[in-house]
Amino acid sequence: MAGGGWRTKRGRKAVAAVVFAVLGRGLVAAARLDERVRAEAGAWPEGTVITLGIGPFGPQVSWRAGGGMLEYLGGAEVEPTLAVTFKSVDGALPLLLGMKSVLGAFAEHRAMVTGDLALAMSFVRCLHIVEGYLFPDLMTRRILPRPAERRAGHLVAYGALVHRRARLEGASS
């Protein structure tokens, strides 16, 4: 592990960066597999860029919805329409590792939102669906507001992580 392992802040940021990469492709994979994600992201305004990150100086992941597609942008520097930024890596990791719910992290003031809160709510609903594909039921029972409903199995979802783009429903192109 980079910089002295899990116990150092640098190490924890490295872990977060890996999870962001998986989550980033996970949202695209979920959009390919699940019509609920396609419908949510398809309703986002054309050109919407969403960034999930850790501030300051932490890793981040971004997506762009436009042209009828949802695209994984990785950790590229972007001008986000909506930014969900964790205040510290220690506040982010429990969520990223499936130990705490997204809404639980918000309840504990672990993150701030810059942008339209209605869009943030839609994004959170997408994250819930993605978590349903990435994590086993043992974890999702604790972190999701309702039992995970999957349109495909975990293995299929993991297989779909290779894609960087997914076609959306209802999006203007």
Partner 1 sequence: MIPDYYEFCNSTKIVSGTRALEHIGYELAALGASRPLVLTNTQLLELKVATLVLDALADTEAEVVGVYEEVPVDSSASVVDDVARAYRERGADAIVAVGGGSVLDTAKGATIVLSHGGTLMEHRGAESLLGRRAVAFIAIPTTAGTGSEVTSAAVIKDTERHVKMGFTSLSLLPDVAILDPRLTVGLPPRLTASTAMDALTHAVEAVSCVQANPLSDCYAKAAIGLIRDHLPAVLDDPRSPAGRLALANAALMAGAAFSNAMVGIVHAMGHAAGGVAGIPHGDAMAVLLPHGMAYNIDAVGDRYGELLLDLAGADVYASTPADERAAASIATVRAMLDMLHTAAGLSVTLGQLGVLPEQIPDIARAALDDGAMSMNPKQPSLEELVEILKGAL
Contact positions vs partner 1 (CB under 8 A): 83, 85, 103-104, 106-109, 111-118, 120-122, 124, 145-146
To partner 1, the closest distance from the beta carbon of 155 in angstroms equals 28
Q: Which is nearer to partner 1, 68 or 91 (CB)?
A: 91
To partner 1, the closest distance from the beta carbon of 85 in angstroms equals 8
To partner 1, the closest distance from the beta carbon of 115 in angstroms equals 6
Centre a 10 Å sphere on the Cβ of residue 127 and count the other Cβ atoms it contains.
22
- C-alpha 91/C-alpha 78 separation (Å) is 23
- Residues 170 and 70: beta-carbon distance below 8 Å: no
Q: Which is nearer to partner 1, 117 or 162 (CB)?
A: 117
To partner 1, the closest distance from the beta carbon of 122 in angstroms equals 7
13 phi-psi bin (left φ>0, alpha ψ -120 to 50, beta other): alpha
Q: Which is nearer to partner 1, 22 or 78 (CB)?
A: 78
The length of the chain in residues reads 173
Q: Which is nearer to partner 1, 108 or 137 (CB)?
A: 108
To partner 1, the closest distance from the beta carbon of 46 in angstroms equals 16
- C-alpha 101/C-alpha 97 separation (Å) is 10
From the list 113, 86, 70, 106, the residue with the least C-alpha distance to 20 is 86
- Residues 81 and 45: beta-carbon distance below 8 Å: yes
- Residues 13 and 54: beta-carbon distance below 8 Å: yes
Q: Which is nearer to partner 1, 106 or 158 (CB)?
A: 106
